[in-house]
A and B are shown apart, each in its own frame.
Chain A
Amino acid sequence: MEMKNKRSIPFLIGISLVLLMFVIMITSLFYTPYDPNMMQTDARLIKPSLEHPFGTDNFGRDILSRIMQGSQTAFIIGLSSVSVGLFFGFMIGACAGYFGGWIDELCMRFIDALMAFPGILLAIMLITVFEPGMKNTIFALGIMSIPTFARIIRSSFMQTKQFDYVKASKAKGAGSTHVIFQHILPNVMSPILVAATLSFSGTILAEAGLSYLGLGVQPPDPSWGRMLKEAQPYIATAPWYVIITGTMITLMVLGFNLLGDGIRDQQDKKS
């Protein structure tokens, strides 16, 4: 009983945080307290109050409304980048794991080469060449998450292909596509789900970093990372701007990390 509780508390916190962020994002689609881009020159850097629960920024814009709108960007970037990474990672990992031999060696050297770019360096390089913006940020962060997916999918494929029922299916003359989609894929879904959840948070962190450097999402698209960049000069005069924005990023990342870990723990228990 003790073990069960220990595992489920972080998971419950994770899922609550993710749900909270999701609700904020959905709400922002049709309601924000103020127009997120409305500037009020007479209401600059106002402290949090009943009127502006999170205060206002250096242009007199309502921070709560901007945070709400920024959650849309976080979800869009998270979902799309993970999809891009998953798609290419799956292709590479599946080929490497299924076929093995020199194909595996070739794919893995390519993955090693991608992993040589630490942190957001790969994304920075791609964005330098392809110009900052929402679409290229998604693309760059997606490519950055390819190695994680490729490696997990490769090892799952290698494991699963050893199982007798897969061997039996092959012996019966089933083609590669049939074996992959009918037999192997259902077995690798859970590690993929865990990896996707954890990548989601990684992508949100990376987007915040890129946008802070001015290389991510560009105005007028809202972004928490860029809000932090704008908040930095006012760190002493308007600390709430920095604190609130960073807390939102942290909570979102924490939520997805706890959720991913929780799912993994549940699976480990099952097996």
Chain B
Amino acid sequence: MRYFSYKVFTFIVTITLVSLIVFSVFQVLPGNPAQIILGLDADEQQIAQLEKELGLDQSLWEQYISWISGLLSGDLGQSLKYQQPVLDILLDRIPVTFSLAFVSIVLTALIGIPLGIFIARTDGKWVSTILSMLTQLGIAIPSFWFGFILILLFSVTFKLFPSYSYVPWSEDFFGALRSFFLPSLALALSNIAIMIRYLRNTILDQTKMDYVRTAKCKGLSERWIVYRHILRNAFIPILTIIGMIIADTLGGSIIIENVFSLPGLGSLLIQSISSRDFPLVQSMVLYIAVLVVFINFMVDLLYNVIDPRIRLKG
């Protein structure tokens, strides 16, 4: 119980700090935000009007409190460009980003986990050196450039996948899957590489443990030891890396959505920046960051469920 309340406490503290960082960064905007939004030729009255609408005539502390209490009650403010509540715009875009992240994480797991186990079992041979170099390459390739290469290969040359078209799930399931496949793969590449490296190291570390030696002495087959013993113990580190990968995928989707013209949060973020729609940018940045903190919090709680020793130690 103490472990749980400590985790909840740090979760709340971190989220509060995140919101303070986002809020204060947007306070630094040089000049009067109302002036910036309306442009140089706006008259005094218009500016005063907008200042009142944005609550800029209140003190900073009041502005922060009203922003946060708005967020908590689901009111994320009003977008300047779309003249719509920010929440409605986000709800429109979230399914796209989530689908992209979901397909990408599934691809990472499907490709990364078996390959990682395979590479760990071939340790010490030159195959593993080459595969290890390949994973380094996978980490080094910029995901958006890999996206270009995928478009060049699969859309331009072989015409197997659409390049810049988005099909919603509701319209056509397989069409949607096709439109998400290339961007998800581009996003997954570096995560697959990270997953492989991490899994390999974890399995190799576990192999040196006493319980593996005992299992070997008992005459168990290597395959049995890896799948029945090592992987169970490697599960906690794998969970950590999955938490990191989810956060990474959310961050990476910002660029990938722009490469493939997917109408998700990432492309909305960049459009809002160029149209100087600051309330929308501010809420989106906070939303994504809070989501990441929340995912880490859930991963922490899951540890606790999987391995009660953590709770006892804490």
| B118-142 vs A, Cβ < 8 Å mask (1 yes, 0 no) | 0000001000010011001101111
The reply to whether B144 and A228 form a contact with Cβ atoms under 8 Å apart is yes
A246 touches which of B13, B29, B136, B142 (Cβ 8 Å):
B142
Instruction: Select the stretch in A48-56, A57-65, A180-188, A209-217 that faces chain B.
Output: A209-217
Q: Which residue of B lies closest to A130 (CB)?
A: B28
> How distant is the Cα of A201 from the Cα of B139 in the complex, in angstroms?
10
> How distant is the Cα of A124 from the Cα of B258 in the complex, in angstroms?
14
The reply to whether B141 and A250 form a contact with Cβ atoms under 8 Å apart is yes
Contacts of A114 in B (CB 8 A): 21
The reply to whether B141 and A116 form a contact with Cβ atoms under 8 Å apart is no
The answer to whether the Cβ of A16 comes within 8 Å of any Cβ in the partner chain is no
A-B contacts, CB under 8 A, total: 142
Shortest Cβ distance from A204 into chain B, in angstroms? 9
Residues of chain A from 208 to 245 with CB closer than 8 A to chain B in the complex: 208-209, 212-215, 228, 231-232, 235-236, 239, 242-243, 245
Chain B interface residue count, CB cutoff 8 Å, equals 50
The reply to whether B142 and A129 form a contact with Cβ atoms under 8 Å apart is no
Q: Which residue of A lies closest to B144 (CB)?
A: A212
**Could you tell me which B residues sit within 8 Å of A by CB distance?**
10, 13-14, 17-18, 21-22, 25-26, 28-29, 124, 129, 132-133, 136-137, 139-142, 144-145, 148-149, 151-152, 156, 247-248, 250-252, 254-255, 258-259, 269-270, 273-274, 278, 281, 285, 288-290, 292-293, 296
**For the complex of A and B, 9 pairs with smallest distance between CB atoms:** A119-B251, A118-B251, A246-B145, A113-B17, A254-B140, A253-B140, A116-B289, A118-B247, A236-B156
Seed contacts A118-B248, A126-B25, A213-B254; 16 additional CB < 8 Å A-B pairs: A9-B129, A112-B17, A117-B285, A119-B252, A120-B251, A129-B25, A228-B142, A231-B148, A232-B259, A235-B156, A236-B156, A242-B145, A242-B149, A246-B141, A250-B141, A254-B137
